[in-house]
Structure 1
Amino acid sequence: MILPPPADVEAQLAAARRDGDLDRYLGLLAGEELFVPIRRLDAHRILDERAETFPNVYFETGGDEFLQVFTRGALPDLGPDVVAMSGALDWAVDGVGRHERVVFNRGTRGEWRLPGATLQPWLDAHHDDVTPLDEQVERLITAPYGHLDGPIAHALACGAHLAVLNAAPWNVLDARRHDYVAEVRGLRDWWGVPDPPAWRATMTELIGDGYALTPGNLVLMLRLRFAAEYGLSGDEFDPLTWAELVGRWCVENDAEDQAAELRDTVRRVSRYEQRFRADGLLDTDGFVTTTLAWDVGRAVNIARWGLAAGYCDDWTAELMVLEAGSLARRYHQSWPDLSAGYVMGRMLQAGDEFGEWYAAAARVHHQLLQDPSSPWLNLGFGSLSEESDA
C-alpha cells in the first residue's frame, strides 16, 4: 500500500502567499522548524566554541540584502560551503532591524519578503503562537519529498520511533534538510561519534554482525530455547524458572561472572513486559523476543545523521539503512513486534524504570500504530519480495 498524501507546509505557505494572508502565513511558520543558511566554516567555529553567534548567508539582489529563512522542504542546494542551522520563527529572525528584510522560502511559490517592521510587531502580538524548537516533539511527519514506498521507505520506517520523538520526517534521507551544527554536536555529545571512523564503528556495532548479543538479547534468546525444550510459549515461562535456568546456563558455559547481571535482566524484562501488557504495548499474552529493534532504530537514525554531518556519502547511508531494514524483517514479525522490542531495548539501556523515557516511547508507539498517516499502517511489514528468506 502507498502512503496517503502527506501534509505539505510548503504548499500551504504558497496558498497563504497567493491570498496575501500574512497572519496565516506567519502562523504556519510559527509552528515549524525553520532553517537559516550559514557558511560551513562558521558552523565549525561554533562547534569549536570559537563563536557565539553565526553570520547568516544573505541573498543579494538589486543592491538589497535579505536574510534567507526556509522551511525544511524548501531548502535549496546552496553548494558545499553552505550548511544550515535551525530554530523557531523568533530565533530565525532575531536581530533583524526595522528596515531590514527577510526572504522566506526564496525561489518557491511561497516566497515572501517581509521587513523587520512587519515581523517584530507580529511576533510581539503572537508570542504564544510560536512553538519553541524544544517543544516541537512527538510529531509524525511524512515529507512529500521523501521516500513514500519501496525498500528504503520500509527501512526508514524501522527508525520511526526516534524520528517521531524528535519531530523529524521519518522518510527523509538527505544531507541538506538538517541543522548541521545540531547533528554534528548530537553525534559527538550523545552518541560518542565525532568523525567518520567512529561513525563506521558505531554502525558496525549496531548492525554489522546481524544480532547484538547484549544481556537483554541473550536472556530473551535463552527464554525461547528453554520454552521450546519444555514445550511452552514465552508468556507461559515463569520468571523464577527462567532466572534459575539462566544461572544454570552460565555455569555450563563458563559464564558465571555474568550470572548476576543476567538474572537481574530477567527480572527487569519480566517487570517491563507486565507494564507493556497493561499499557497496550503487548497483547495480554504477548512477550518480547529480541531487542534488536533498538539497535535497528538507532542505526537508521545514525545513518541519517552521519549523512547530514558529512561522515558518509549518499550511497553508503542508503546501504546502511537498507541493511537495518533487512535485519528488522528477519527478526520481527510485525510493526507492533518491532516497536515492543525497541521500547524494551530503550528501557534496558536507560534504566529509568517508568519515567519520562518510557512514557514518551509508549506515546510514540501508540501514535505510530493508530495515526492513519503512519507508515506502520500503510507499509506492510514483511511484504518485500527480496526478503523471501525472512
Structure 2
Amino acid sequence: MGTRGRAQGESTGWTAPTEVEDALAEAREREDWDAYLAALTRAELFVYVFKDQMDRGPVQPRLYTRDGGWCLEVRTRGMLLREPRKHLVAARLPDPGRLWKRWKLSDADYVGLVVNPGTPVEAYFPGGRALARRWHRLARKSEPPPGENVLRTRRNGILTGPFAHGLACGAHLAVRNAVFWNDVGDVCLSYADDEEILRELWGVTDHAGWREQLDHLLAGTNSPGEPEFVLGVRAELARLLPGTQVTAEQWREAAFDCLVEAHDGAMREAERRALRAVLTSVTGKILRYEARFRADGLLPPSGRVRSALAYDYGRAVNVARWGRGARLATTMQAEEAVIRAGELCRETYDSWAELSAGYVLGRALRFDEETFGEWYQSSLIQHRILTGDPVSPWRSLSFGTGAPL
C-alpha cells in the first residue's frame, strides 16, 4: 500500500506541470496506489545527489528520513526544483526497480520510497524488496516514456513573452530530446547528460568555454560561412530585382563577382576556377535542398530559404540550457542568452516557418551531405510536430512579439 504523505501547498488552485502529475494526483485522490505506481513506471524519474560526489564517480542517492529510518526520494521531471541548487544535481533514474540492487539498500536500514516530497502529489510507499517486486509487476504492463521527438510543455513554465519566444526558437532540439521546450530550470536532460553533451560535443568544461561557444553561436559563426554568404547575395539580388525570379546562374555570378571584388580583382586564374567550383557546389546543394523542402512541405511551392542562421541561433538556446543544467551558468545568464537568440531570430526571419526552414537547411548542409537521411528526416519530423501540434508554441505565440495568438 501507499500513503498520501505530508504534502504541502495542496489547494484546488494547484496546476499539475504535466500529465504525469495529473495521473499521480488523480490516483492519490482515489488512494489507488497501484495506479499511482503504474503512472510512475511510465514517467521519467530523478534522484538528487551531491554534485561533488557525482563529479567524482558513482554515488549513493540522497536519502530522506521517514518513520525512524531512511527512504529514497524520487521526483518526476515536472517536480524537479525550479531554481537549481549549486550543491545538488538531478540524476536520471533509468530503472527504479533496480534501486535496491544498484545501491545495495537493505530492508534493515531502508524503510521505503517517497515520491515528490513536499508537493500536492507526495506519496510514501513503505518496504524494500517487496516494493521492488510490486514495481516490476506493474512495470511489465507499462510502456516506457518516449525518448525522442515528443513535444513537451511545462504548464506552469514560461508560456509568453520574449523569454518564451527565445525558448521556442530552440524547440527543434527540445522536441528531439523529449524535454520541456519552455523551461530553464534544474536540468535540461539531467545533470550528467547536460554535462556530457557540453564536454563531448562542444569541448566545454567550464564557464569560459560555455561563454565562448555561446558567443560563436549568437554571432552565427559556428557553422561554415559559405552558405550564409551566398544566401545573403541571393536576398540582395531579390531586393534589387523585385518581381524577378533570380536564376541559379545570376546567383552564382553575383556571388563570384562579390568575392573577386573583395580581393580587388587580384586572383589568379586557378583561384578563380576553384572559387567558381565552390560557389557552384554550395548554391547547387541549397537549390536541391530547397526543392526537397518544397516537396516535403518545409517550404511553400515557390518558397526559398532566407538564411540558415537559425541553426546556430536554435542551438544557442540549447547550449544556454545545458550550461545551466551542468552548473556552468546561472539562471540569469542562460535567460539572457535565450532572449538574445530570440531577438536575432526576429531580426532574421518573419515567421516560425521561415525559421524552421533555415534551421533544417543549416543542419542538413552541415551533416546530411545530400543523403536526405537521419540528419534531415529527424529535423523534418520536428518541423511537422512544431507546426502541426495544436499546443505547439509555434501555434500559440506570435513570432514577432512572443505574445499569445
Q: TM-score, normalised by structure 1?
A: 0.87
Does the aligned pair in 1 maintain the 2:28–2:36 contact within 8 Å?
yes
Q: What displacement does 1:243 show?
A: 2.7
Which residue number corresponds to residue 295 of structure 1? Answer: 312
- Render the CA deviation track for 1:346-373: whole Å, top value 9, x for unaligned: 1111134311121111111011111111
Does the C-alpha gap of structure 1 residues 91 and 230 become closer, same or farther in structure 2, counting only changes over 3 Å?
Answer: farther
Task: After superposing the two structures, state which structure 1 stretch, 97-106 or 55-64, moved more.
Answer: 97-106
**Which structure has the greater CA radius of gyration?**
2
List aligned pairs for 1:224-373, cutoff 5 A.
Answer: 224-232=235-243, 236-254=245-263, 256=271, 259-352=276-369, 353-373=371-391
Q: Please tell me the root mean square deviation across aligned C-alpha atoms, in Å.
A: 2.7
Corresponding residue number in structure 1 for 2:184: 173
Query: What is the rounded CA distance, in whole Å, between the counterparts of 2:98 and 2:331 in structure 1?
Result: 28
Asked if 1:129 is matched to 2:142, the reply is: yes
Q: Report the CA distance between 1:130 and its aligned residue.
A: 4.2
How many angstroms apart in 1 are the aligned matches of 2:323 and 2:377? 28
Structure 1: unaligned runs, 5 residues or longer:
47-52, 386-390
**Matched residue, 2:25:** 14
1:57 is aligned to 2:62? yes
Q: Deviation per CA, 1:293-346: give whole Å up to 9, x if none.
A: 111111111111111222222222111111111111111000111111111111
Letter in structure 2 aligned against 1:249: C
Question: Structure 1's 228 and 150: CA in aligned 2 closer, same or farther, altered over 3 A?
Answer: closer
Q: What residue number does 1:106 align with? A: 117
Deviations 1:125-154 (A, max 9, x none): 53362426xx41111111023101111111
Q: Report the Cα distance in structure 1 between the residues aligned to 2:139 and 2:296, rounded to whole angstroms.
A: 38
User: Contact between 2:317 and 2:338, CA under 8 Å: does it hold in 1?
Assistant: yes
On the 8 A contact 2:97/2:135 being kept in 1, the answer is no
Counterparts of 1:94 and 1:164, CA distance in 2 = 33
Correspondence for 1:68 among 69, 73, 82: 73
- Distance 1:117-1:328 versus aligned 2 partners, 3 A rule: same
Does the 8 Å CA contact 1:29/1:89 hold for their aligned counterparts? no
SS of 2:372's equivalent in the other structure is coil
Structure 1 residue 212: Cα displacement: 7.6
Supply the AA of the counterpart residue of 1:261: V
Mapped partners of 2:365, 2:227: distance in 1: 7
**One-letter amino acid matched to 1:93:** L
Identity %: 36
**Distance in structure 1 (CA, Å) of the matches to 2:184 and 2:155:** 13
Contact 2:188-2:194 within 8 A present in 1 as well:
no
- One-letter amino acid of the structure 2 residue matched with residue 361 of structure 1: S
CA contact (8 A) 2:151 2:178 kept: yes
State yes or no: 1:378 paired with 2:399. no
Q: Give the TM-score, by structure 2 length.
A: 0.84
Post-superposition shift, 1:107?
1.7
